[in-house]
Amino acid sequence: MNLETRGSSSGEAAYRDRFATVMMRSAPTPLAVLARGEGARVWDVDGKDYLDFLAGIAVNSLGHAHPVFVEAVARQASTLAHVSNYFATEPQLELAERLTRLTGGDRVFFGNSGAEAIEAAIKLARLTGRPRILALENSFHGRTTGSLALTGKPALRDPFLPLLPGVKHIDSTIEALEAAIGPDVAALVVEPIKGEAGVVELPAGYLAAARELTRRHGVLLILDEIQTGAGRTGDWFAYQHDLPAGDLPDAVALAKGIGGGFPIGALVTFGAASDLFRAGHHGSTFGGNPLATATANAVLGEIERAGLVENARVRGNELRAHILALRSPLITDIQGRGLLLGVGLAEPIAPTVASRALDAGLIINAANEHRIRLAPPLIIGEQELAEFTRKFQHALDVPHPTDPGAHR
């Protein structure tokens, strides 16, 4: 439910009218008009508060207005915000060193978003000289024309055809990968957990088998960790759970949580893949500027200092247990890891559940008709879990379509 269908105050109505007048029609009508946030909570323009269990779609790792985030932005903005890619800065180099340490990678390209990280990955794959890229059905990699070509959702791609040639979408099975891979394939691009699909896991052992197959055929394994990275799954990166110890991908696309709310994207490369780009092959005016990289450094540093990767693992297990304890007949499954969970529903009522949650002061996401996506800040504790459970139970108490009172 959005502002056009749910009751709204005169303040919200005024914002709604302004939004409808000046914003491009590609933007959905906003669910609410938010004014401020603190921790895992936000307030709208009329003062109503909400527990935020979406975190800007897995972006706000430290929640809202975290002192470390605020101080980093203010400090860097007061010294040096932007210099272009003709120059290097200490924050840029420090962040690149941090990301290579955390990932086990060798080199970093900085952009401004996840889609830009994927675009860099596509160009990296093209530099192999091979014409084809494999991606998975029901995947999501972005909305720029290159990243959209990789996205395995025809409804998103079809209005913009033709897109980048040479992309083949395959089922998420090792058998499908074995049938499609060959000497003309440059790369396999994979989300370790399909976030936009509603937090859907790959088959057990998929990434390990894909690493073996891609290595055997000389194919780049490129992982889209835009939504799963920065500690969200209870590991720094999801592949660290899914690949055998010491085994690494060829490239990893990052964004969202690494900046904690400040726009930044990165492509980290490993081994021989780090030698593909040469001077002039790629660039970004804003990518890696000191303001973005200083903020991301501070965010990742606080995740390390405060033990928030472990917190994501522990609280994620607790969150899963809380949901299962509800024993709702609507819940069919829970997928994902850490603080990226998807709740499957037996009826196509996820948008209704999300709307009832919003009315109750809880922000969750209906990824599609049957799945609810949860991605709270990594800072949540027992109090937030208890509040979520109460409000999610309320949201799930939706009259069944066959209930005689459902349409009163």
For the annotated catalytic residues, the residue numbers are 140, 224, 256
Place of tokens 């606080």: 302
- Other CB atoms within 10 Å distance of the CB of residue 304: 14
C-alpha distance from residue 211 to each of 28, 38, 252, 255, 378 (Å): 38, 41, 13, 23, 29
User: Exposure string (b/e) for 88-99, b if CB count within 10 Å is 16 or more?
Assistant: ebebbeebbebb
Q: Which helix (H) or strand (E) holds 365?
A: strand 365-368
CA distance 145 to 151: 10
Confirm if 224 and 191 have CB atoms less than 8 A apart. Answer: yes
* 198 vs 174: CA distance, rounded Å: 21
CA dist 131 and 278 (Å) reads 19
Q: Helix or strand or coil: residue 162?
A: coil
- Whether omega before 192 lies within 30 degrees of 0, making that bond cis, reads no
Instruction: Tell me which H or E stretch contains 178.
Output: helix 174-180
Side-chain-side CA neighbours of 7 within 13 Å: the count stands at 3
In 83-228, beta strands by DSSP E: 107-111, 132-136, 167-170, 185-190, 193-194, 200-201, 220-224
Evaluate whether 333 touches 190 at the Cβ level (below 8 Å).
no
Residues 6+ apart with CB under 8 A from 324: 331, 334
